[in-house]
Amino acid sequence: MSHWRKQQRKETYFQRAKQEGYRARSAYKLIQIQQKFRILRHGNVVVDLGAAPGSWSQVAIQEVGRRGKVIAIDLQEIEPIPGVTILQGDMTDPTIQAQIIEAAGGQADVILSDAAPSTTGVKLRDHVISMELGHAALDVAKALLKPGRHLVIKVFQGEDLPQLIHDVKMAFHPVKIHSPKATRNESWETFIVARGFKGE
């Protein structure tokens, strides 16, 4: 695909996000994951890790409806989203996890993590931090998910990814690696879509 074509596709999702009221083009990645895997259902309790600026939470609250709940967590401040509970803090902090459980009214049905490092351009460093975030999301899922429920993690590809995939497979079945069409061609991100949490 030519550079011009890549830029056009990038702009298409950017423009659609503006027109359809999503805070970032990343909304379409979750929409496409949902279309393929049906991880979100009406009435679900969803925890969105690394949620800023909130586009995944916007998609999630549409999917779960009024009977569902979405709790969004990020170190950064997130502007209010109708129907979404927003927490500011570190997702690995036990105090924040206790707040999540309180907001959820118990365990969650789906854990989403679109968390990513502030990229430096140093691929190895960015990959290592991405793996740390991925393992943190898996730890949160083990602590908060109901058995049989689902996890989606954004990751940067690299040499440590197979170990994270292995660790996810120990806790979930089935596990798929998926790159939605909305992902930029030049991007080295992909998504672990893990269904069927085995429970601790």
pLDDT band at 21 (very low <50, low <70, confident <90, very high): confident
Tell me, what CATH number does 95's domain have?
3.40.50.150
Catalytic residues: 154
Task: Compare 84 and 6 and report the one with higher pLDDT.
Answer: 84
pLDDT at 7 over 70: no
Q: According to the per-residue pLDDT averaged within each range, which of 6-20, 110-124, 166-180 is highest?
A: 166-180
Inside any domain, residue 199: no
Inside any domain, residue 200: no
Inside any domain, residue 117: yes
Q: Please answer whether residues 55 and 28 qualify as being in contact, where contact means their C-beta atoms are separated by less than 8 angstroms.
A: no
pLDDT value of position 119: 75
Inside any domain, residue 23: yes
Inside any domain, residue 183: yes
What is the pLDDT averaged over residues 142-161? Answer: 96
Of the CA atoms within 13 Å of residue 107, those in its CB half-sphere come to 13
pLDDT band at 22 (very low <50, low <70, confident <90, very high): very high
Quote the domain boundaries for residue 58: 3-194
Cα dihedral 164/165/171/173 (nearest 10): 170
What is the pLDDT averaged over residues 40-50? Answer: 97
pLDDT at 19 over 90: no
Q: Kindly report the average pLDDT of the chain as a whole number.
A: 92
pLDDT band at 2 (very low <50, low <70, confident <90, very high): low
Count of domains in the chain? 1
User: What does pTM read for this prediction?
Assistant: 0.92
pLDDT at 181 over 70: yes
Residue with tokens 């309180």: 102
Flag the least confident range among 41-55, 165-179, 183-197. Answer: 183-197
pLDDT value of position 8: 55
Inside any domain, residue 69: yes
Burial profile 109-142: b = 16 or more Cβ within 10 angstroms, e = fewer: bbbbbbbbbeeeeeeeebbebbbebbbbbbebbb
